[in-house]
Amino acid sequence: MPRKARKNIESHYAHLIIQGINRENIFKKKEWKEDYIKILKNKIDNTNIEILAYCMMDNHAHFLMYYETLGDVSNLMRKINTTYAMRYNKINKRVGFVFRDRFFTQPILNEIQLYNCLVYIHRNPVKAGICLKMQDYNYSSYNEYIKEKNLITDNSIELLFGSKYKYIEQFNAIHSKLQEIEDIKDVMEYKDNREELLKKYENKIKGNLVENEVEFGNLLLEMRQKCGISLREMSNILKINKDKLNKYIHKAIDNN
């Protein structure tokens, strides 16, 4: 049964950002945006994850998600991005990485931040000068709340507004706010913050070797999620064998 949005959300909601390697326009064509959405819709079936908002731009994409465990999100994004990367490389006759890092995750910690994130994601094309109105953009979830649903479900609506009935007035009121959206990081702004965050995790993890394997794995998993870092990068930073790190992470996922 979906949970109603709460004032103190803690850790079950997150803003995710994916971006093309070297800011490459990996979603430039409408078919590519549509393909990523189709893959996401297929892979999210039979999970405990709900998409609350999304916006596909040319070189990056935003998602607002509800999840039960971070491990679920990590597994889902790995499957989606791997599938898309294989198709993208085949179509473009290229090899190598398609996405910058893995993905960047910003936890949503309260109801105000939740609604701010919803509006921020839908406003992305307007802010970028692609369209004048949010409803004019075809590759976000804005119109799914008003017209035909695809990634947005009744559960998504209940998680945000408490009921799937008579929510439109609240949806419109939230999106009519004119003040600057707070607490949401732009995809172009997170790199410096990421380096600072990585240093904090490095110090924390090096001081935590290795009394409880599950707790240590959870800390590694949190570092990957919040810093958008690959296992190889993590191994280089922490000077710990990649296979060992992977073992601890999977122990944490199995125990979530």
pLDDT for the residue 12: 87
Residue 3 within a domain = no
CA–CA distance, 58 with 199 (Å, rounded to integer): 31
- Assess whether 135 and 248 both reside in one domain: no
Specify whether 36 is located in the same domain as 155: yes
Query: What is the value of pTM for the model shown?
Result: 0.71
52 occurs within a structural domain: yes
Residue 188: what pLDDT? 41
Residues 215 and 136 in one domain: no
Domains in the chain, number: 2
Same domain assignment for residues 194 and 169: no
Within a domain: 7: no
What's the pLDDT at 230? 67
Stretches where the chain sits below pLDDT 70 are 1-11, 178-197, 206-211, 225-230, 253-256
- Output the domain CATH number for residue 118: 3.30.70.1290
Residue 5 counted as domain residue: no
Last residue of a domain, one of 111, 140, 175: 175
Q: Which among 115, 146, 175 is the end of a domain?
A: 175
Residues 195 and 126 both lie in one domain: no
Q: Are residues 171 and 49 in the same domain?
A: yes
Identify the pLDDT of residue 139. Answer: 96
Q: What pLDDT score was predicted for residue 134? A: 94
Domain range spanning residue 216?
190-255
Q: Does residue 48 sit in the same domain as residue 124?
A: yes
The verdict on 204 and 164 lying in the same domain is no
Residues whose CB is less than 8 angstroms from the CB of residue 208 and which lie 6 or more positions away in sequence, other chains included: 215, 216, 219
Which of 112, 140, 175 is a domain's end point? Answer: 175
Both 197 and 103 in one domain: the answer is no
Is position 6 within any domain?
Answer: no
pLDDT for 227 equals: 66
Determine, yes or no, domain membership for 107: yes
Q: Indicate whether 246 and 146 sit together in one domain.
A: no
Nearest to 183 by CA among 120, 229, 127, 129: 120
CA distances from 23 to 53, 80, 121, 182, 248 (A): 22, 19, 18, 24, 31
Residues 200 and 165 in one domain: no
> 31 and 150 share a domain?
yes
In a domain, residue 183? The reply is no
Q: Within a domain: residue 218?
A: yes
User: What digits encode the pLDDT tens for the residues 24-60?
Assistant: 899 999 999 999 999 999 999 889 999 999 999 999 9
